[in-house]
Structure formats: C-alpha cells, structure tokens
Chains A and B, each alone.
Chain A
Amino acid sequence: MTSTDVRATAAATSTPATGGAAVELRDLRRTFGTTRALDGLSLSLAPGELVALLGPSGCGKTTALRALAGMETVDSGEILVDGRDISRVPTRQRDMGMVFQSYSLFPNLSARDNVAFGLRVRGRSGAERTARAGELLDMVGLADQGAKYPHQMSGGQQQRVALARALAIEPRVLLLDEPLSALDAKVRLQLREQIRLLQTQLGTTTLFVTHDQEEALSMADRVGVMRGGQLEQIATPDELYDRPATAFVAEFVGTMNRLPAHVVNGGVRVLGRDVTPVDVGGRGVDARVDVLARPESIGVSAAEHGAGIVTGKTFLGGTTRIAVLLDDDLAVLADRPSGEAAQLGVGAAVDVVVTGTNLLLVDPTAG
C-alpha cells in the first residue's frame, strides 16, 4: 500500500475524532546519581496534538515520556492532564496507551487477545471485547491476523498490534516510545504514516519520542528538541528547520554548514563575500562569528581558479548533494539541482558562495 492509498483510505473514512486531553509538564526534574535526566522540563500538548521529542541519547526524552506514563518518578514538578495533577496517580490509573520500543505483546495471547487485554482488565463483556478488538485490528490492517500469536507475526505487524492494543482502551494520551526503531526502513516508513493517520482520525493527544529527526519532522505537529534534560526549542517542523533557535538545534535538525565569518555593515562577510541583509544580533562590525547555513543556501559554480575542489556527489533525486573542500580544509555541503550538479565532476575546481540570507549567526565557540 502506498502513502497515497493510505491517505485516500483515510479521506474515505469518517471516524469522528474522540478528542484528546490537554497535557502539561511543569518544571520536571529528575536526577539519576549525578546525571540530570530532566532539568526543569516544561512542555504543553494541546488536545489532539502530536508532539515529538527529539534529541540525542541521554537527553532525557524517554525519561520525560516515562514520567508522563507514571513509570518514572520525578523529583519535583507537576504533570497535568486536563488541568488535574496526576503526578501521584499510579500508571495503571492514568489511562495512557503506550507503544514500546521493544516488542511488548504478551507472547501467550493471540493478537486479538492482546488488543482486548486492556478491555478485559476494565471488566468489559466478552462480546464487547471481541468486537472492539476486531475493530482495532481492522484499523491497523490486521483484521485477518487476530488469531495469530506474536511469534507468528513480523516486527511491523507486532508493532501495529501494539498500537491497536494501546488505542483499544481509548486512552487520554497516546505515548510512543521509539516504536519504529526496531523495524526495517520500508516498514518504518509505512508504519509512521499509519500512526499519523490513526492519530489524526482519532484525535488522541500523542507524545512521540524518537532520535530519528526524519520521523519527528514528518509526523509531528510540533517537535521539541531536547538537550541535557531541557527543551532546547519546540516548534513546528518547518519553523524548526528554517528558524532554529540555537546552534545545537540548527546542527541537530537537518544538515548544516558551519562557516567562519565576520560582521560587516548590515550583514556578514563569509566565504570572501558580503551577504546582506542578515540579522547580526547586535554584534559590532568585525566581530568574529560562525555562520550556520543549510546546504540549499550554498551555491557552487565551476571556476578554473576556484577556492574549492569537489570531493564527492550524492544523487538525491531532484537535487544532488555536492561535497566541496575549500582551501583552508573547510568542508562544505551544497544541495544543487541535479541538472546543474551534473556539470561538476569530482575533482573540479569550484567557487562556493552563500546564496541565502536566512542565516543563523553563533559565536565561534558555541556548541
């Protein structure tokens, strides 16, 4: 099934959104030994919103999710769902569906019984459980797999059953803890479309933890980038990409060139040329800065005595990523239309310029 088919199916269905809960994490702090896993984390999720927490290993994103689920205690701070503090409510009473990174289906139960587990715990009748489990399995495209046991299913199918199981209890919040990371690339792509589709249709407030920026940017309404137990920036995917708040976000999300420069009137001088207008953030003329520029903001042209040499090319479809090594051993990546890039062979001498003005300036030492 292609993504277009998925969207067409989605458009043809008319499941009303159930409406999710509003979630607010306030100043959460959690320390493990000397490590601050959460260092004053505050985060809000609007009802029905899908927020992805993105960050490197150890940044605290999983701890934040587990704290919301009640599986991790916090040293201080508040966790509010629809305005009610649930910090001291046990996990099993929080009404949160969770899909785990590792396969978490109960091996002794069939797919149908796994999906019905939460309903059984809630004392629903056998007929209701069977009907609801069938409905959920149908939603994840596994209607005919209900009798299978986890060991008889592929990893992708298991995670879809886990998703159906989490949704079966009509959770107030859906928590996804890197649910796609154990799957191969093709299944991962299909499943992330399904998750987003179901989440949008059901309107369940969702917190999604991942270290894969492509997943986060493609699925989430907003993406929060975490570092050192704190939220570095939270914004829509395009805002995060186009207007990163810090050098860390800029370099963590997408590919970024870091180029030495200095401030001139109304702009910066970078790669031997003045680029204006650029917001220099109150820095004085001649101040040394690093310019952070996306590969698509870098121009490359053949020049017999150019300052750079093409060291490699990666075909990406419509564009080609060109790697250039400048005279001063500075490596630069540029995304150019493939037709234009075809004119530049590996080893060719080239000139490199910054073409855009949407640049982020950081101090040369900033991480």
Chain B
Amino acid sequence: MVAVVDTGIAAPPAARPRSAPRTGSLTRWIVLLLVGAYFLIPLYAATAFAVETPGGGVSAGVFAGIPSQQGFADAFGLSLNLAVVTIVITLALMVPTAIYVHLRLPRVQRLFEGITLLPIVIPPVVLIVGVLQVAPGSLKGTPYLLAFEYAVLAMPFAYRSLDSGLRALSLKTLVEASTSLGGGWFTTLFRVLLPNLRSAVLSATILTIALVLGEYTMASLDQYETFPVWMVVFSQDDAHVSVAVSLLSLVVVWLLLLGISLIDRRRGRTTPGES
C-alpha cells in the first residue's frame, strides 16, 4: 500500500486579539443596560402586579395555583400539540422547498422570498378562508386545522432561518459530492444537508414554537381555546392570575428554547462517529 507522510501545513497561529478601548467597552455596557431595562422593567412591573395581595402584601401563591386553574391544562396542552404539529408541517414543507430553490432555481430566490412574506401582509381572516378552501374535510372540525394556518404564518420566519443556513453552506458542492459517492436524495438530505442545517432548523423550530404559543387572532376566530385565548378569557375573571400566567408562559417558553439550544450545543460537541 502506498504511504505518504503528512505534509499538511498547519494554519498560522491567530493573532492575539487586542484589548478593546475603554470607551468601546463603556458604550457596550450602556447599550446593554438600556436594552436590559427596556425588557426587564415591564417584566418587573408585571411580576409586582401578579404577586401583590389585596392587603398590600406580597405572595407567590398565585403562581402555585396556576396549574389548577380551570381550563389551563387543556389550553396549554392544545397549544403544545399544535406547536409540534405545526413544526412538523412547516419543516416538511419548507426544508425541501428551500433546498430545491437554492439548488435548482437560484434565479427565483428573490421571488420566493417575496412569496414567503405574504402571510405577514395578508389579514388572518383571509388566510383562514384560504386554508379552509384547501384543508381536507376530516380536519375542518378539529383544532388541528389551526396547525395548517400556523404553518402559513410561520413561513416567513422559517424560510428566513433556513435561507441563512443554506447560504452558509456550499450546497451545490456538498450535494454533488454526496451524489458522486453514490448518495441518493434521501441520503444526501438526511446524512449531509440536515446535520449541517441543524442550527437553521432549530432556529425555525424555536420561532415556530414562539409563534404558536403566542398566536391569538386565528385561534380566537376559529373559536378554539388555545393558551393565548384562555389567557385573554381568564384575565376577565382574575387579572392577577392572568398576568401570572403570562409571566409563567414566558418563562416556560424561554426554558423550552434554552433546553433546545443546550441540546443542540451538546450534540454539536459530541457528534457521534458514523463510519
């Protein structure tokens, strides 16, 4: 067997980063504090309102009582179910489409981007009517019809995430390398492209979850009590609990997204061998 000794040239050591000027550092801190205040002050106000007791005291008991509130479990469960179904529909539609457009139809990329923006400018009621026109009859009486509507709503965000991921890849070369080695479309998609689009897919997933757990208009028009609808309805009875639920949902979504990000980071560090 032929043997050739390693002649690889190591990359030159990176130059040591110079310490940033003090003024730049100060500016960064000011910006960080301002942005932090912009987000945290409303959260603080909401928390203060939620934990306020009629006697002027403070109690966290309102949070402990949320799971037992009437209709909470059903509404939250439905929203989680819809999030999962919406993600499946969105990824199943958008991933192959985005790859195909980048690979085979680069000239229509701009047009396609424009099309994906339409759900933002079209009124929800029009989208609902459109989905009703094409949805299978068996779905029309179920809340899962909402998942199709949400998939349309998620399109602008999901496509942009996937688009940026695809732009960062040498898509054509990777696909050609895979096919030259005997890989079919299935192999190329699942063994080459998706693992390298993991961050983009994750980003699309996170945005879709956030959208589904916060969407009110369509669910309300379709008369299904999803989590946001329940919150609005419940706030008419007890504003304190409603605000507490809003805060809790924010934390739950945040924890969910953090968990997904951590899983992704961990997978990235310990990608298993495949040979």
Interface on A for B, CB 8 Å cutoff? Answer: 1, 5-6, 9-10, 13, 15, 69, 71, 90-98, 100, 102-110, 112-113, 115-118, 120-122, 126, 129-130, 133, 135, 138-142, 144-145, 149, 153-154, 156-157, 160, 162, 165-166, 169, 175, 184, 186-187, 190-191, 194, 197-198, 201-202
Given contacts A100-B173, A100-B177, contact A1 B4 (CB under 8 A): yes
Rounded to whole angstroms, the CA-CA distance of A125 and B6 in the bound complex is: 28
Which residues of chain A are near B177, meaning CB under 8 Å? 98, 100, 104-106, 162, 165
Q: B180–A92 contact, CB under 8 A? A: yes
Q: Which residue of A lies closest to B184 (CB)?
A: A92
Q: A92–B182 contact, CB under 8 A? A: yes
Q: B182–A104 contact, CB under 8 A? A: no
Partner of A138, one of B1, B173, B179: B1
Q: Whole-angstrom distance from the CB of B130 to the nearest CB of chain A? A: 38
Q: Which residue of A lies closest to B185 (CB)?
A: A92
Contact of B176 with A by CB under 8 A: yes
Q: Which residue of A lies closest to B4 (CB)?
A: A141
How many residues on the B side are at the interface (Cβ–Cβ under 8 A)? 33
Q: B7–A156 contact, CB under 8 A? A: yes
Partner of B11, one of A5, A13, A154: A154
Q: Which residue of B lies closest to A122 (CB)?
A: B182
Given contacts A1-B7, A154-B11, contact A104 B2 (CB under 8 A): no
A-B contact count (CB 8 A): 151
Binds A, one of B48-56, B137-145, B267-275: B267-275
Partner of B4, one of A6, A71, A162, A186: A6
Digitize B176-205: 1 where CB-to-A-CB distance is under 8 Å, 0 elsewhere. Answer: 111111111001000110011010000000
Contact of B174 with A by CB under 8 A: yes
Given contacts A112-B273, A190-B7, A197-B4, contact A103 B182 (CB under 8 A): no
Rounded to whole angstroms, the CA-CA distance of A191 and B9 in the bound complex is: 11
Partner of A5, one of B5, B196, B275: B5
Q: Whole-angstrom distance from the CB of A105 to the nearest CB of chain B? A: 8
Partner of A169, one of B170, B182, B192: B182
Q: A13–B1 contact, CB under 8 A? A: yes
Q: Whole-angstrom distance from the CB of B94 to the nearest CB of chain A? A: 20
Q: Whole-angstrom distance from the CB of A108 to the nearest CB of chain B? A: 4
Q: A98–B180 contact, CB under 8 A? A: yes
Contact of B10 with A by CB under 8 A: yes
Which residues of chain B are near A110, meaning CB under 8 Å? 271, 273, 275
